[in-house]
Amino acid sequence: MRTIHTDEIIKNVREMCIEANLHLSGDMEEAIRTAKETETGQLGRQILGQLCENMEIAKIDEIPICQDTGMAIFFVKIGQDLHIEGMNLTDAINEGVRQGYTDGYLRKSVVGDPLLRENTKDNTPAIIHYDIVPGDRLELLIAPKGFGSENMSRIFMLKPADGEEGVKEAVLQAVSDAGPNACPPVVVGVGIGGDFEKAAIMAKKALTRNVKEGSPLPHIRRMEQELLEKINQTGIGPGGLGGRTTALAVNIETYATHIAGLPVAVNMCCHVNRHVSRII
């Protein structure tokens, strides 16, 4: 049995909040720069150039890549042989978020009640998904999510007879309906299977996968490639102003489901697809 104190968790979460909002992961940065070189539309290429310039300014001046520093989303894997001492784990993660968003001068975008709309002034509470796994380590993955793209998310409860073609039609419909509102170029996260909420969680988690790595399942990897090609034929383009770069990647995650259902969730993220992970 290994023991860690929540003080260490708070420190790491604080740093991760700031790091994720100031620096894109290497795969995302490379994808945007490559898109700039391959985009055939003049206006689209100009917009992609501005995005590259924006990334450099954020690095040099240590300021957020986007003014919407998002709601803090966490995927947490807890080793079953790990003992956590100190405060409650959820409270510790939220304290790290409070410190990170306050000390990092990041925009606080969370309201405590969805109808009363009073800002919590520290970007808490975070949304936390827990998973118990073998081992004695704690893995933290933060994915700050802005709501320009989040508001364009969709879930479809398809019939099994809809099959693969129905899934592809649903994804294409979601992207088409989003148009420029998801701040393209986007990364499209898709969850297939499970149930209503499992599909949505998979779609969100899919956004954190390296955009250069396809699914390990051959039939899903083929579907990712087909969807990416079709999405980039829509002409929505960077900033929604036309071009061939509407999406940088389509990442699909799957899970077992009921014989009577085929849930499909689509969660899009703009080019500021932020995520940072640490293992403690």
Domains identified in the chain, total number: 2
CB 253 within 8 A of CB 206: yes
pLDDT, mean over the chain:
97
Q: What is the pLDDT of residue 84?
A: 98
Q: Do 203 and 155 share a domain, yes or no?
A: yes
Q: Are residues 132 and 180 in the same domain?
A: no
Same domain, 190 and 224: yes
Look at residue 234 and tell me if it is in a domain.
Answer: yes
Q: Which CATH number characterizes residue 75's domain?
A: 3.30.360
Classify residue 134: in a domain, yes or no.
yes
Q: What is the spatial distance between Cα 206 and Cα 209, in angstroms, rounded to a whole number?
A: 6
What is the residue type of 230?
K
CA 8 centroid distance within chain: 25
At which of 96, 116, 144 does a domain end? 144
Among 111, 128, 144, give the residue marking a domain's end. Answer: 144
Q: What angle do CA 241, 228, 176 make, to 5 degrees?
A: 50
Same-domain check for residues 12 and 123: yes
Report the pLDDT value the prediction gives residue 110, as an integer from 0 to 100. 98
Q: What are the Cα distances from residue 246, in Å, to 2, 36, 239, 267? A: 46, 12, 8, 15
261 falls within a domain: yes
Q: Would residue 112 count as lying in a domain?
A: yes
Structure confidence at residue 143 (pLDDT): 97
Q: Which domain holds residue 90?
A: 2-20+66-144
Tell which of 86, 117, 144 closes a domain.
Answer: 144
What's the pLDDT at 214? 95
What is the structure's pLDDT at 22? Answer: 95
**Beta-bridge partner residues of 267:** 189
Residue segments in the chain with a per-residue pLDDT below the cut of 50: none
Is 256 part of any domain? Answer: yes
Are residues 217 and 83 part of one domain?
no
Residue 197 lies in a domain: yes
Tell me, yes or no, whether 101 and 163 share the same domain: no
Q: Tell whether 190 and 260 lie within a shared domain.
A: yes
Q: Examine the domain organization and report whether 156 and 136 are in the same domain.
A: no
The per-residue DSSP string of 28-67 comes to HHHHHHHHHHH--SHHHHHHHHHHHHHHHHHHHHT--SSS
